[in-house]
Structure 1
Amino acid sequence: MDVGTVWRRWSAGHERIRDALPAVPVVLIAAAATAVGPSGWREPRWAEVAWTALSCLPLVVRSRRPLGVALLTLAVDLTLMAFSPHIAATPAASLVALYTLADRGSRRTAWIVGVASAVAVTGVFAATHAESLVGARGLLRFDFVIAATALGRAVRGRREHLAEARERAERAERTREEEARRRVTEERVRIARDLHDVVAHHITLVNAQAGVAHHLMRTDPDRAYEALAHITDNSRAALDELRSTVGLLRQPDDAPGSRAPIPRLADLDTLVAGIRAGGLPVSVTRTGSACPLAPATELTAYRIVQEALTNAHKHASATRAEVVLDYGPLALRITVTDDGRSGPPQGTGGGHGLVGMRERATAIGGSVTAGPRPEGGFRVVAELPLSLAPAPL
C-alpha cells in the first residue's frame, strides 16, 4: 500500500485534524517572522503571533465551509496586515482557505473570490507600505493569491480526471464481464440445441428400429437381427456425438483426442443411411457448384437437415422425404420436404424444433422458413451464407 493511499484513508476519518494541519507551519512562520529584527533574533511579538493563530482557527472547517472560511480568514488577515504590516506570513491563512475554495467550490466562485482577494491584499499592502499598486512586493502578494487559486483548481482537475479514468476502467471491466456472461449464455444455448438435435434424432431412429425388430422378431428373424444391428450403430453414433458435444465443456488442457470432430455435410450420407434404416426412404440431391463452407455453416446445415428429417420421421408419419442442397454464388439453400401430415410437426411448439432451426440459422446470418405444402406434406427451407462476415470490433 503506497503512502498516498494511507494518507487518503487516514484523512477521510480525521477531516478536522487534516484541515487544521496547515495552521501549524503558518503560526511557526509568523513566530519566526516577528522574531527577526535589524539587529538579529529577538523574542517574537506574541500578540501578532496570537492574531495569526486566530486567523487560522476557521481552517478547521475549511472543507465543509470553503467560501465562508475564505472570506473570514481574508478579513482577519487584512486586519492583521493593516495593524502589523511587517509580518512576512501575511496572508498565509487566506492562501490556504483560497486553495481549499478552489479545490472544493465551483470554478466561477473560486476565481471571483480569488481575484477580489488578490486585489484587496495588494491594495492593503500598498497602502500600509506606501508603495505603488504595481510595485514588486505588492505584485508578489497578488501572484501568491492567484497561484493559490490556480493550484486548487489544478488539484481538483487532476482529481476529477483520475476519477473519470477509474470510472472508465470500471465501466470497461463491467462491459467485459457482461460480454463474457453473454457469450457464456450463447454457448449454453448452442450446446443445448446440439444436445437436443443429437438425442432427438438418434432416439427417434432407435425407437423406430426397435419397433421394426419387435414386429419381425417371430416372422422374419434375419430382418429383426438387422434392425437390432442398426440400433447398435445408432446408439454408438449417439454416444459419439454426445461425447463430441460434451467435449466442448472440457477444460482447455484436456487431451485433444478426447474431442470428436463436429458433424459436417460430408457426414450427411451417414445420417441419411441411418434414417433409411429406420424405415423412412430419403433421397438427397445436390445442385450448383459445391464449395468449401465455413465450419459454422457446415454444422448448421447438418443440424437443420437432421432436425427436419427427425421431425418428418417421428412426428409427421411420412413415407418418404427429399433433401435438396442448392449451392448458389453467396448462399446454400437447403430444402427438406416430406409427404407426412400437413401442419407443423407435433412437439415443435416448445422451442426445440423449428425454433431451434431458426436460432441456428439466425446466429450465422441465415434464415429458415417452414410450412405445409399445398399438395400435402411439409417443407423446410433454409438459406445459409457460404462464408461468415467478420465480427464487429
Structure 2
Amino acid sequence: MALDAALAVAVLTCMVAGSFVDPHGEDGVTWGLRTPDALSLLLMTLGAAALVLRRRAPITVLAVTGGLSLVEFATGDPRAPVAMAAVVALYTVASTTDRSTTWRIGLLTVTVLTGSAMLAGPLPWYSQENLAIFAWTGIGATAGDAVRSRRAVVTAIRERAERAERTREEEARRRVAEERLRIARDLHDVVAHHIALVNVQAGVAAHVMDKRPDQAKEALAHVREASRSALDELRATVGLLRQSGDPEAPTEPAPGLDRLDDLAGTFRNAGLQVDVARADQDTTLPAAVDLAAYRVIQEALTNVQKHAGSGARAEVSVVRVGPNIEVTVLDDGSGQDDGTAGGGHGLLGMRERVSALRGTLTTGPRYGGGFRVHAILPVGAGVRATEDAV
C-alpha cells in the first residue's frame, strides 16, 4: 500500500507537470504557456488516488482511470495527461492476469481511449497527443505482459529447483532404506547359517559327550570352524560399514555357486543329508546372480536344518534353462514349520534378493510332506542391476 501510494504521488506529479507543457509553442515544447483548469486538476487527482488500490482491484481501477480519461478528452482544454493513470492501471492488469485477458482488455482500452481522443477531443484526430495515447497504452499492456511472463518463468524455475531438491532427498532416503535392507539381509544370511550349524553341532556334542568323546570332539571342531567363519564374515561386513570413504575391494571374492560343494559339506557335517545336482553347463554368472543363487541355497538349507526335523534329506539342483538359472531346494522333512514362524526373515530376504534381479521365487509345502524353494534368476540381470546401481 505504501509503495502504491508513493507511485500515485509520482504519477500525479508527472501529470500536473505535463499539464503546464505546450508542445505546440513557437519554440517547440514550451513550459508555462498553459495552465490546467480546476476540473483537470480534480480529474488528475482522482486518477492518481485510484492507483493506490491498483493491486487489490486492477480491473476496477483501470475502469475508473479510463473513465476519468474519457471525461478529460471531452472537456479538458488545455488537455491534461490524465491518461497516464490509465496506462499505469493497464500495466497492472497485464502483469496480474493471463495473456488472453491482457489481449482483450488491452485492445479494448487502446481502442476506446484512442478513438475517444480522436473523435471527442479539441485537437485534430492526427495530432501527436492522440498518437501518443495509442503508443503509451500499447506500451503499458506490452510491458505488463512481459513482466508477468518473466515472473512465471522465475516461478517455474524455482518450483523445478524445489522439486529437484525434494526428488534428491527422496532418492537419498530410498537409497538409505535399500542399503539398510541389504545390510540386514547379508547379516541375516551370515548369522542364521552359521549359528544354526553351531547350534546343531553343540547339541550333538552335548548328547555324545559322555559315551563317545571322540564324536563330541569332532562336533566341537565343527562348532569352532563354523563360529570362525561367522566371525570372519561379520568382521568383513562390519569393516565395510565402518569405512568413511568408498569401500576397498574385498580381499576375498563374494561367495557363489563355485562354493556350493563346500556349503553342502558344512550341512553334511551337521548331520543333514544333502544331494547336489548341477546342469548349468559351467555357465559363468554375473556376480550379483551368482551371489543371489548361493544365498538362496544357503538360506533354504538352513531352514531345512532348523525346521524339517531329524532325519530330513535335502536335494539341491541348479539348472540352466534358456536365459535363466533355476535353483531348486527340496526336502522331505516332517516338520510342520515352514520357516516363516517366529518372525523369521529368511524367506523375505530370499524374495528380496530374487526380486532385485527381476527374478521369481516360489516357496511352499510339497505334496506328501516337505518343503520346496524354487528361484528363477535371469542370467543378464546382474549386468542390468549394476547399470541401475550406477
Report the TM-score range of the alignment, normalised by the length of the smaller protein: 0.7 to 0.9
Q: Deviations over 1:120-178 (max 9, x none)?
A: 3223332324423x665423321221221222122212212322232232223222322
Structure 2: distance between partners of 1:356 and 1:166? 42
Change (3 A) 1:78 1:260: farther
* Aligned equivalents of 1:34, 1:320: Cα separation in 2: 108
Contact kept in structure 2, 1:243 and 1:259, CA below 8 Å: no
Instruction: Report the AA paired with residue 233 of structure 1.
Output: E
Aligned to 2:301: 309
For residue 69 of structure 1, report the CA deviation from its aligned partner.
0.7
Q: 1:100 is paired with a residue of what secondary structure?
A: helix
> Counterpart in 1 of 2:8?
23
AA of the residue aligned to 1:20: A
Shift of 1:30: 2.6
1:292 aligns to what?
A: 284
193-202 or 296-305: which moved more? 193-202
Structure 1 residues 218, 265: CA separation in 2 closer, same or farther (over 3 Å shift)?
A: same
Greater mean deviation of Cα atoms: 254-263 or 180-189: 254-263
Question: Which structure 1 residue ranges, 5 or more long, are not aligned?
Answer: 1-15
CA distance in 2 between partners of 1:61 and 1:351 (Å) = 70
Q: Which residue of 2 aligns with 1:385?
A: 378
Aligned to 2:62: 70
Tell me: CA distance 1:191–1:27, structure 2 relative to 1, closer, same or farther (3 Å).
same
Which of 204, 216, 224 is the aligned partner of 1:224? 216
Moved more, 365-374 or 222-231: 365-374
Give the counterpart of 1:250 among 238, 242, 245.
242
2:348 match: 355
CA distance in 2, matches of 1:345, 1:160: 61
Query: Deviations 1:87-114 (Å, cap 9, x if unpaired)?
Result: 5644111100111112223545443333
- Identify the residue that residue 211 of structure 1 maps to in structure 2: 203
Output the CA distance in 2 between the equivalents of 1:59 and 1:150. 19
Partner of 1:265: 257
2:49 is matched with which residue? 57
TM-score normalised over the length of structure 2: 0.85
Match of 1:178 in 2: 170
Q: Which residues of 2 match residues 60-139 of structure 1 at below 5 A?
A: 60-87=52-79, 89-126=81-118, 127-132=120-125, 137-139=129-131
Deviates more, 1:179-188 or 1:256-265: 256-265
For 2:207, give the aligned amino acid.
H
Q: Which moved more, 1:315-324 or 1:206-215?
A: 315-324
Residue 307 of structure 1 and its aligned partner are, at CA, apart by: 0.9
* Aligned position for 1:192: 184
CA RMSD, Structure 1 to Structure 2 (Å):
2.9
Question: Structure 2 CA distance, aligned partners of 1:225 and 1:359?
Answer: 39
1:306 to partner: Cα distance: 0.7
Q: 2 CA distance for matches of 1:271 and 1:34?
A: 101
More deviation, 61-70/241-250: 241-250
Whether the 8 Å contact between 1:67 and 1:105 is mirrored in structure 2 is no
Is the alpha carbon distance of 1:44 and 1:28 closer, same or farther for their aligned partners in structure 2, counting shifts above 3 Å?
A: farther
Change (3 A) 1:260 1:173: farther
Following superposition, the deviation at residue 70 of structure 1 comes to 0.7
Residue 207 (structure 1) shift: 0.7
Looking at structure 1, the residues matched to 5 and 261 of structure 2 have their Cα atoms a distance apart, in angstroms, of 86
Q: Which amino acid aligns with 2:267?
A: I
Query: Residues 314 and 108 (structure 1 numbering): CA distance in 2 closer, same or farther, change over 3 Å?
Result: closer
Structure 2 residue 307 is the aligned partner of structure 1 residue 322: no
Find the aligned partners of 1:94 and 1:356 in 2 and give their Cα distance: 72
2:139 to 134, 147, 151: 147
Alignment partners' CA distance in 1, 2:158 and 2:192: 50
Identical pairs, percent? 46
